[in-house]
Amino acid sequence: MSVAFLENLPNWVLFIIFPAGSWLVLGFLTLLFRAAAKPLGFDDIDSDILDTATQNVMSGAYVVLGFVLVLVMATANDIDSNISKEASQIESLDRLLVMEGSPAAQTARQTLLAYTKSIVSDEWKGLSGGPRNQKTRVYADKLFTNLRAIEPISIRQVALFMDVIKTGDDIAQYRNLRMMNSQSRLPSLFWQLSYLTLLGVIIISALRLLRPSSIRIFALAVQLAMISWLFATVMILDLPYLGQVKTSPEAFEKAIELILARH
């Protein structure tokens, strides 16, 4: 099952697929090992060795997935923070243009508003991995053309113009950072290794069930479910612009409201 397919599924489906899939594979391998127990010599198993192997492999899986989960959550928080800063800079630029007051500044304000609206309505839905929206890019280029067209006259306008240029540059940097973050995700090698680790846990659990008991079956099923849910959580949070738990354009929507309130 490819990551490209899984990442487009709803979150609740992922939380069902991973444990259910793990249980099905566990059941299949348990039946397979029981059938091949005598030919392969599995009928004389060492319970202590299997207990130690089960504990070590599961502990290692928990540590690795827990560590990666913390990294993914930190990245998601950074993305949210940068988006808030970008929206704040847009609102600040509009305020500076109001204070500057020239006709060129008012033209730039109109373009800034159109650019911000385009982020929400045109560009946001493509941030999950698609190309940059050309309509929003056109508005961005037009905005900076409008900013360069401002010609300050008074000392006050010169001072404001310096802040306008700096804020416009900050907006461009945050936009580029947002675009790069939309393409950032864990490498495929991590997912391949994670699948192999999960398979290893299932294999050892299947060997452990050659001599089943109710409490042993229940304990292994719960452990597999916990690892599977942790695995699914990492996958969900690794896609900040996709799925149900995704970054919202709310900060830009609030900036639009503030800009419109000044018109």
Maximum Cα interatomic distance, the chain, rounded to a whole number of Å: 94
Q: 7 near 243, Cβ under 8 Å?
A: yes
3-state secondary structure of 175: helix
247 near 83, Cβ under 8 Å?
A: yes
Per-residue pLDDT of the chain (263 residues; tens, 9 = 90+): 455 566 666 777 888 888 999 999 999 998 888 887 766 666 556 666 777 777 777 787 878 888 888 877 777 788 888 899 999 999 999 999 999 888 999 999 999 999 999 999 888 877 755 556 688 889 999 999 999 999 888 888 888 999 999 999 999 999 988 888 776 677 777 778 888 888 888 888 888 887 778 888 888 889 889 888 888 888 777 765 554 445 778 899 999 999 998 87
Up-side HSE of residue 152: CA atoms within 13 Å toward CB? 17
pLDDT for res 245: 46
DSSP class per residue in 108-139 = HHHHHHHHHHHIIIIIGGGTTTSPPPHHHHHH
Query: Which of 262, 240, 226 has its CA nearest to residue 18?
Result: 226
List the one residue out of 215, 181, 207 whose CA is nearest residue 72.
181
Q: What is the pLDDT of residue 244?
A: 47
H-helix segments, the chain: 3-6, 11-35, 37-40, 47-100, 103-118, 134-148, 155-182, 188-208, 214-237, 250-262
Cα gap 163→90, rounded to integer Å = 12
pTM confidence score:
0.71
d(CA 262, CA 257): 9
Domain ranges of the chain: 79-185+248-263
- By the 8 A CB rule, do 29 and 254 touch? no
Neighbours of 167 (CB within 10 A): 21
